[in-house]
Each structure stands twice: as structure tokens, then as C-alpha cells.
Amino acid sequence: NTLLFARWLTAAVVFALRVLCFLSRTDVATVTPWLAPVVWEGTFEPELLDGVYRQKNVSIAVTVFAVGKYIRFLKDFLETAEQHFFVGFKVHVYVFTDRPAELPKVEMAAGRQLTVHPVPAAKRWQEISARRMEMIQRLIEETLLPGTDFIFCLDVDSKFHGRWGAESLGSLVAVVHPELTFDRGGFPYERRPASRAYMAPGLGDFYYCGGAFGGDLHEVRLLAKTCRENFEADAKEGIEAAWQEESHLNRYMWLNKPSKVLSPEFLWQDFKPREREIHVVRFSGVVKNYAEIRPN
């Protein structure tokens, strides 16, 4: 009986602390002006959320590109995903690489699997980010639909450090870029009206990162298709947006508001000192030497 009471007391204290923590997130915006949640540590109940989606037996696809020397990041990405990303859920990772022979061996838990899609090598690094949208669109149309519920598209030069679970699920999900200090005027949107990624001064909600986005398959298919078409139409006119597909994604998310916005906890950068608002780093880009690692 004493043991039962101690357990009950611990659970009650943990719950009370969580509620207090939830109430105390007044330091950040937790809802957008269009009433989408902005997900921060302390604004959700992890076990409760996972329980809700586990009952629905949801499946999650992940795309990750490891072209050229970026294959070296894949091992850490996959190993840390096993520890933190949708643990206990059906997860299928799709790796796009030109070096399938160098694929690392990573043991995956039951219900989790990996498929490799060979892609050609790239001459310019910009080509890779340009082609990602096309491949994501094709994967959804040819392989994932129907059957898979959600998809996340993630940068490979990153590691998971903390839980990333059902709190991130939504129909269209964007991640706020880790440069929290940017004000709207300083957002690095594409500013040339000639580009289809153009954002006029004063427009924009957040600056979202290209390294992590997701949602349900229909929404992400539409996003990938639109960004790809706009990217290609720009290319025909000899224009490449300032931050390639990230610029097109930002334009898309301005016109099609995400149903859920993930805080920069969901894509931080290792080189950045952690800011006060960041209570947990869930996923973070590793420090890399661009000159050494990119094709040119």
C-alpha cells in the first residue's frame, strides 16, 4: 500500500509540475494568428499524445538525402532516430543516395524499416536541394499513397538529441528556423519579384527551415509539387531563389498556412549557443565544413 501511495504521489507531482510548466510558457508564442499550435517543450503531454496516435496505429515515412560525401552523416542520423524519433511507432525511412554501397549498418527496432533509393550524383550542391522536392513528390505518388499516414522530410547532416513524437503530427507542418533573433524585415526570403518564391517586404509569418517539414501525404505532395514546379519555372527563366527550395517552401507556407508550427527545438544548430527559450534540443544540425563536403 505504501508503495502504491508513493507511486500515486510521484505521478501526481509530475502531473502538477507539467501543468505548471504548461502554464508558465508565456515567454514564447504558443499559437499563431491563424490558430495553429506552435509546439514548445512544456505545451503538451507526451505520453498522452503518443497514446492517442498509437491507438490509431499511424505510420510515418521519413525522407533523407545523403548524396556524395553527405553519406557520412547517415549513421548518426539513423542511430539517433532509433533512440528518439517516434519510438514505438511504425516508421519507414527512405534514403536517397548515390552511394548505396556505403550505407551504414544500423539495427532498427521492430516495426521500423529502411529502403534505399539510388539517385545520380550531383555536380552542384544546389542541384540536390532542387531535386529533393521532385523525389519526395514521386515517392508519395508511386510508393506511399495510399497506406502511409504522415511524412517528414529531414536534412541528413543532423542528429536527434531528444524526443520527437506525436506532438509533431499535423496535416501541414513547418519548423521555425533556428535563427530566432530574425525580425520579419530581416527574414531571408527571396526578394526578387522575378522569382516565384518572391515575398514582398512586410509579408511573412515566420521564416521556416528547409531542413525539416512534413504533414499528411496529400498536403506534402501538394507542397512538393508546387515548390518543384515553381523552382523549375524559375530555372527556365534563369533564376534560382536565394535559398533554393527553402525559399519556395517559405512562399508556399505563406499562402498555405501550416496547421502546426514546430519551434526551433525541432531543428537547432550545434554551432549556436542554446537560447533561453529552448528548453530541449530535439534535433540539431551538426557543424560541417561546407568547402570540404559539398560537390563545389
Residue 294 touching ligand UD2 (CB under 6 A): yes
Phi, psi of 277 (to 5 degrees): -70, -20
Closest CA to 27 of 13, 12, 38: 38
Task: Name the active-site residue from 167, 219, 246, 265.
Answer: 246
For ligand UD2, the closer CB: 45 or 98: 98
Q: Candidates 34-42, 60-68, 84-92, 112-120: pick the segment binding ligand UD2 (CB under 6 A).
A: 60-68
Residue 182 touching ligand UD2 (CB under 6 A): no
Residue 67 touching ligand UD2 (CB under 6 A): yes
What does the DSSP assignment read for 120-146? ---SSHHHHHHHHHHHHHHHIIIIITT
Is 246 noted as a catalytic residue in this protein? yes
State the minimum distance, in angstroms, from the CB of residue 156 to ligand UD2. 4
Q: Residue 112 is which amino acid?
A: R
Residue 278 touching ligand UD2 (CB under 6 A): no
For ligand UD2, the closer CB: 42 or 63: 63
Quote the DSSP letter at residue 287.
P
**Sheet strand arrangement including 112-118:** 38-39, 260-262, 172-176, 208-216, 150-154, 59-66, 90-97, 112-118
Residue 129 touching ligand UD2 (CB under 6 A): yes
Contact call for residues 226 and 165 (beta carbons, < 8 A): no
Enumerate the active-site residues: 246
The site for ligand UD2 (CB under 6 A) is made up of 65-68, 70, 125, 128-129, 155-157, 209-211, 243-246, 267, 285, 294-295
